[in-house]
A and B are shown apart, each in its own frame.
Chain A
Amino acid sequence: MRLLIVEDDADLSRQLKSAFKDAGYAVDVAKDGEEGHFLGDTEPYDAVILDLGLPLIDGVSVLQKWRADGKSFPVLILTARDQWSEKVAGFDAGADDYLTKPFHVEELMARLRALMRRAAGHTTDTIELGDLMVDNRAARAFVDGMAIKLTSHEFRLLSYMAAHKGRVISRTELVEHIYDQDFDRDSNTIEVFVGRLRKKIGTDRIETVRGLGYRLLDPDSEAAE
């Protein structure tokens, strides 16, 4: 899963990036409204954390522009502004959630996970595919109840594919959602990650659809078919 954090305070931005990276997310940061708007406009994020009091363009305007351009990713506003009118304006501009500073990182993560879960149509933080279970809250995966050891990139890959289980996902889409902006992106490395993941969770769980991409099989829906 790939996040965008638009926050002008360098320390807070660094903390959030670090916390979300540790939790298994690919994270990009923008320090002002202009950069934030550009990144949100050009990169396919799974969620955005947006400050309101930003240099160059304020957060509400950035959000309004994204929504006007048809960007539908979930946006959580993270701001020191706690007036009801500001909350109303934030939600009216298209925000999905609103959290005021100071805040607990756990609460922010829980809310963001809830947003992404809702966007993907899930109801809990854990996604089960037969005996494979992906716990987004703990950033861990289990096969048959046994925890498997995954690198952060492997977890992101598994988490994204689990969130879109049963759907064919192109390599490009995977690249866009598991790497952050600063990472040296090479779509061939996706093959390497998929190979490693297959070894850890079982080779028959990820199907290669030639010319299109990969698909994480959902045993429940396969059985239903």
Chain B
Amino acid sequence: MSRRSPPSLVSSLIRAALLWAVPGLILVTVALGLVSKNSSYRGFEEPLEASVLGLIASVEVTQDGTLRLSRDLPEPKYQRALSGQYWLIGRVEAGNEIAPILASRSLYGASLEVSQETIRALSMQEQEPVRFTTAGPDIDANEMLRVVARQVILPEMTSPVIVLSARDVRPIQREIRNFILTAIALMSALTLGLIFAVYAQVRLGLRPLFDLGRRIADVREGRAVTVEGDYPLEIAPLATELNSLIAHNKKIVDRAQTHVGNLAHALKTPIAVLRNEAEAADTTDSAIVSKQTNTMAAQVDHHLRRARAAARGQAIGVRAEMDPIIDGMVRTLPRIYREKDLTIERTGEEGLIFRGHPRDLEDMIGNLMDNAAKWTSSRIDLDVFTVEDGLCTVIIADDGPGLTAEEIETAMKRGARLDEATPGSGLGLSIVKDLADAYKGSLDFSRSDSGGLKAILRLPIAVQIDEQRGLSG
């Protein structure tokens, strides 16, 4: 079953911010539209209402019972035919039309349609004006009128008349639509800006965390020893705790190493005493003791090496300069094998840093060089070079008798020895192989130019942090 990858902190924070920001902005846009519409209509209807009141004030009933205006309304649009602004005084007749008694010139003899509900509302609301929308007289232009109307009973009249004033509503509808579109555009831009701002803020806010992640990777991969850098107040304790943890881890490993060392000393000396005592006695019992102590010695050696390697494998942030270890071996081996008049030729790169524990590097280089020194007639060639970023090759070649493929296979087996007469525990090559594997490196053998054995050891190396910064900067 595949596991879901953990959620990204950045996307979670951005999602959370957008979750409230986007509906909020939509709500604001809708509210703005409504407010704008109401306000526009109020502004639009106020002059119509004033016109209605003006008409009521100006209308007179003549002696013959007809109506007339004592003075014209000042708005010139009432005079121009189909100008979009109209007034009318009339009576409701059968159907939905108002039969005009008096009307503005602009209405051009037409009447206005009124719905049944409006007529009912007019009869019920005598004091308050009734507002409604209806089709205008200019049918070709799809005119829509906003109407303000009142029903009044004029003096000396018995039946009520309807006084209304109307104006083409489309310009104001266009304005409202334009306003809403502008608001939507602005709000969309604001939303996009907000998304970008939230993203930038989250990235900026989390930058110390990303930096911390990189520093930890540096430690993990041996480019740095501790988590370095100045961190904000909130993250500083984390970096401090990490460094404490790394230091603690190292201390535990060092302590384990010391214990292993002490154990080695504590066991090996008594084994030596037992073995010497048994060998000196020269009896059947002593032969058994001698044989068993030899087994014990080999076992102790094997398990102590394993314990050391296991303890070291757990450590993080460890690295080792390769040169001092190689130089030490180059210096020491000729002293150990004085009778061979050994020459060790070192070529290749210097200044490489092994991404692992110095003792492991010592064990690998030391055992391979010691093996070469055992078998060589007088010369060992050592070459160290980088093969690719983060990986180096160490080649140790001797001019000894070399090994066949089967012999190499045997040599890799734990505890195997090719020649019992040559000193050594027989653990050397298998330990080198195990250690190289543990570091995701490799150990291979082939024939050297001089016919001897060529060991090819591949190891992880740390890219120098200064160098890395230089490259990125």
Q: Would you call A9 an interface residue if the criterion is a C-beta within 8 Å of the partner chain's C-beta atoms?
A: yes
Q: Would you call A19 an interface residue if the criterion is a C-beta within 8 Å of the partner chain's C-beta atoms?
A: yes
From B297, B328, B358, B366, A102 is in contact (CB under 8 Å) with: B297
Which of A79-87, A133-141, A143-151, A190-198 lies at the binding interface? A79-87
Chain B: interface secondary structure? helix
Bound Cα distance from A81 to B336, whole angstroms: 16
Residues A84 and B271 in contact in the complex (CB < 8 Å), given A15-B280, A19-B280, A91-B335: no
Question: CB-CB < 8 A to A97: which residues of B?
Answer: 336
A102 touches B359 (CB 8 A): no
Residues A84 and B329 in contact in the complex (CB < 8 Å), given A15-B276, A19-B280, A104-B275: yes
From A15, A84, A105, A118, B328 is in contact (CB under 8 Å) with: A84
Question: CB-CB < 8 A to A12: which residues of B?
Answer: 269, 272-273, 276
Q: Would you call B331 an interface residue if the criterion is a C-beta within 8 Å of the partner chain's C-beta atoms?
A: yes
Q: Which residue of B lies closest to A85 (CB)?
A: B362
Number of interface residues of B (CB under 8 A): 33
Q: How close is B45's CB to chain A, nearest CB, in angstroms?
A: 98
Q: Would you call B293 an interface residue if the criterion is a C-beta within 8 Å of the partner chain's C-beta atoms?
A: yes
Cβ proximity bits B359-398 to A, threshold 8 Å, 1 near / 0 not: 1001101100000000000000000000000000000000
Q: Would you call B291 an interface residue if the criterion is a C-beta within 8 Å of the partner chain's C-beta atoms?
A: no
Q: Which residue of A lies closest to B277 (CB)?
A: A15
Q: Would you call A44 an interface residue if the criterion is a C-beta within 8 Å of the partner chain's C-beta atoms?
A: no
Bound Cα distance from A92 to B327, whole angstroms: 12
B265 touches A91 (CB 8 A): no
Q: Which residues of B225-273 are within 8 A (CB) of A?
A: 261, 264-265, 267-273
Q: How close is B417's CB to chain A, nearest CB, in angstroms?
A: 16
Residues A80 and B269 in contact in the complex (CB < 8 Å), given A19-B276, A91-B332: yes
Cβ proximity bits B309-333 to A, threshold 8 Å, 1 near / 0 not: 0000000000000000100110110
Q: Which residue of B lies closest to A10 (CB)?
A: B273
Residues A102 and B264 in contact in the complex (CB < 8 Å), given A12-B269, A84-B366: no
B261 touches A81 (CB 8 A): yes
Question: CB-CB < 8 A to B113: which residues of A?
Answer: none
Question: CB-CB < 8 A to B265: which residues of A?
Answer: 53, 80-81
Question: CB-CB < 8 A to B268: which residues of A?
Answer: 80, 100-102
Number of interface residues of A (CB under 8 A): 28
Q: Which residues of B61-90 are within 8 A (CB) of A?
A: none
Bound Cα distance from A107 to B325, whole angstroms: 28
Question: CB-CB < 8 A to A87: which residues of B?
Answer: 332, 336
Q: How close is B149's CB to chain A, nearest CB, in angstroms?
A: 108
Bound Cα distance from A15 to B365, whole angstroms: 35
B359 touches A83 (CB 8 A): yes
Q: Would you call A214 an interface residue if the criterion is a C-beta within 8 Å of the partner chain's C-beta atoms?
A: no
Question: CB-CB < 8 A to A105: which residues of B?
Answer: 276, 279-280
Q: How close is A123's CB to chain B, nearest CB, in angstroms?
A: 10
Q: How close is B234's CB to chain A, nearest CB, in angstroms?
A: 43
Q: Would you call B174 an interface residue if the criterion is a C-beta within 8 Å of the partner chain's C-beta atoms?
A: no
Q: Which residue of A lies closest to B334 (CB)?
A: A91
A88 touches B328 (CB 8 A): yes
Q: Which residues of A71-129 are within 8 A (CB) of B?
A: 80-85, 87-88, 91-92, 96-98, 100-105, 107, 118
Q: Would you call B120 an interface residue if the criterion is a C-beta within 8 Å of the partner chain's C-beta atoms?
A: no
Q: Would you call A184 an interface residue if the criterion is a C-beta within 8 Å of the partner chain's C-beta atoms?
A: no
Q: Would you call B469 an interface residue if the criterion is a C-beta within 8 Å of the partner chain's C-beta atoms?
A: no
Question: CB-CB < 8 A to A98: which residues of B?
Answer: 336
Q: Which residue of A lies closest to B362 (CB)?
A: A84
Question: CB-CB < 8 A to B42: which residues of A?
Answer: none
Bound Cα distance from A87 to B331, whole angstroms: 11
Question: CB-CB < 8 A to A85: which residues of B?
Answer: 325, 328, 358-359, 362
Q: Would you call B338 an interface residue if the criterion is a C-beta within 8 Å of the partner chain's C-beta atoms?
A: yes
B331 touches A88 (CB 8 A): yes
Bound Cα distance from A77 to B255, whole angstroms: 25
Q: Would you call A11 an interface residue if the criterion is a C-beta within 8 Å of the partner chain's C-beta atoms?
A: yes
Question: CB-CB < 8 A to B328: which residues of A?
Answer: 84-85, 88, 92
Q: How close is B318's CB to chain A, nearest CB, in angstroms?
A: 15
Bound Cα distance from A97 to B335, whole angstroms: 8
Bound Cα distance from A202 to B210, whole angstroms: 91
Q: How close is B219's CB to chain A, nearest CB, in angstroms?
A: 24
Q: Which residue of B lies closest to A51 (CB)?
A: B269
Q: Which residue of B lies closest to A18 (CB)?
A: B280
Q: Which residue of B lies closest to A79 (CB)?
A: B265
Bound Cα distance from A53 to B268, whole angstroms: 12
Q: Which of A12, A16, A118 has the most CB of B within 10 A?
A: A12
Question: CB-CB < 8 A to B277: which residues of A?
Answer: 15
Bound Cα distance from A19 to B335, whole angstroms: 26
Q: Which residue of A lies closest to B272 (CB)?
A: A102
B269 touches A104 (CB 8 A): no
Question: CB-CB < 8 A to A107: which residues of B?
Answer: 423
Bound Cα distance from A80 to B301, whole angstroms: 10
Bound Cα distance from A9 to B365, whole angstroms: 32
Q: How close is B420's CB to chain A, nearest CB, in angstroms?
A: 13
From B269, B331, B335, B423, A101 is in contact (CB under 8 Å) with: B269
Residues A80 and B264 in contact in the complex (CB < 8 Å), given A88-B329, A102-B271: yes
Question: CB-CB < 8 A to A92: which residues of B?
Answer: 328, 331-332
B273 touches A11 (CB 8 A): yes
Q: Which residue of A lies closest to B370 (CB)?
A: A84
Cβ proximity bits A158-175 to B, threshold 8 Å, 1 near / 0 not: 000000000000000000
Bound Cα distance from A16 to B273, whole angstroms: 9
From B269, B297, B366, A9 is in contact (CB under 8 Å) with: B269
Bound Cα distance from A96 to B293, whole angstroms: 28
Q: Which of A16, A83, A92, A97 has the most CB of B within 10 A?
A: A83
Q: Which residues of A51-84 are within 8 A (CB) of B?
A: 53, 80-84
Question: CB-CB < 8 A to A82: which residues of B?
Answer: 264, 301
20 CB contacts below 8 A, A to B, read: A9-B269, A12-B273, A15-B276, A53-B265, A80-B267, A80-B269, A82-B264, A84-B362, A84-B363, A84-B366, A87-B336, A88-B332, A91-B336, A92-B328, A92-B332, A96-B335, A102-B272, A102-B275, A105-B280, A107-B423
Q: Which 5 A-B pairs have the closest CB atoms?
A: A84-B366, A88-B328, A80-B268, A102-B272, A101-B268
Q: List 15 extra interface pairs beyond A92-B328, A98-B336, A102-B272, CB under 8 A.
A: A9-B270, A12-B273, A81-B264, A82-B264, A82-B301, A84-B325, A84-B362, A85-B328, A85-B358, A88-B329, A102-B268, A102-B271, A102-B275, A102-B297, A107-B423
